[in-house]
């Protein structure tokens, strides 16, 4: 597990081991907002020569105050897209090797959102990614919204392009982005009015079922859809 908080990751490991005593779980520090942290993680992982069949890019933040990462990139875009993009790139050769040596199809899952449709009509405005649009409530909402929508759209485009390249190389790795469903988690910690809210029509199972479907389904390499939403997953 790649985790930003090592102590929290250790607690999760304990829970998993308690439930599944024979499970082998490694916890490694990984901050998706930091390019140096990502490179260190990938270097450490690759040096162990472990097989890698499945990569789930699920880290994310939302509605954080305007902040630049240590690499001077807007924090949402750095964490939700660029971090996943770089991590996937650095682990990809190992995934190719695993797929070839085991003859088991690899899977890359990139969590996005169907809110990608709400970005600027031009698509991703790279010239505005680092903009702090203003101090009024309306402009803050605009900033939060578009910074998130950029990430969602970029993740889908990443999945589409990477899949095309892997098919061209005849590498048996499927790549899909997905909409996880609406749930209340700690990702909403920056929005006090949402903290503790319960959506009766949406349950935590949505997130895990969507990811697990992509990981375990018998979807063939040729049947990738690149973006999966609720209505496309048979639960």
User: Any idea which residues carry the catalytic annotation?
Assistant: 143
* C-alpha distance from residue 153 to each of 49, 116, 148 (Å): 33, 5, 9
**Whole-angstrom Cα distance, residue 16 to residue 230?**
28
Inter-residue contact 180 to 211 (CB < 8 Å)? yes
2: left (phi over 0), alpha (psi -120 to 50) or beta: beta
> Hey, what are 127's tokens?
């010239």
- 197 vs 89: CA distance, rounded Å: 37
Least Cα distance to 67 among 58, 57, 76, 56 occurs for 76
The Cα–Cα gap between 121 and 52 comes to: 37
d(CA 16, CA 53): 20
């Amino acid at each position: 597990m790649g985790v930003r908080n090592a102590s929290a990751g250790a607690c999760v490991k304990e829970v998993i081991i308690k439930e599944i005593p024979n499970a082998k779980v490694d916890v490694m520090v990984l901050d998706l907002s930091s390019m140096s942290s990502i490179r260190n993680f990938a270097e450490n992982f690759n040096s162990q020569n472990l097989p890698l069949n499945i990569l789930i890019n699920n880290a994310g933040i939302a509605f954080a105050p305007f902040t630049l990462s240590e690499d001077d990139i807007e924090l949402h875009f750095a964490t939700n897209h660029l971090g996943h993009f770089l991590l996937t790139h650095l682990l990809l050769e190992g995934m190719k090797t695993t797929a070839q040596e085991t003859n088991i199809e690899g899977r890359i899952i990139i969590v996005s959102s169907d809110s990608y449709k709400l970005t600027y009509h031009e698509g991703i405005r790279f010239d505005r990614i680092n903009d702090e649009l203003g101090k009024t409530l309306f402009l803050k909402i605009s900033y939060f919204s578009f910074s998130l929508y950029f990430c969602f759209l970029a993740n889908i485009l990443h999945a589409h392009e990477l899949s095309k390249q892997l098919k061209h190389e005849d590498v048996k790795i499927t790549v899909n982005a997905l909409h996880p469903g609406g749930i209340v988690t700690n990702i909403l910690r920056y929005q006090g009015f949402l903290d503790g809210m319960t959506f009766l029509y949406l349950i935590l199972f949505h997130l895990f079922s969507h990811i697990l479907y992509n990981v375990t389904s018998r979807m063939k390499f040729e049947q990738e859809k690149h973006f999966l939403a609720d209505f496309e997953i048979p639960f």
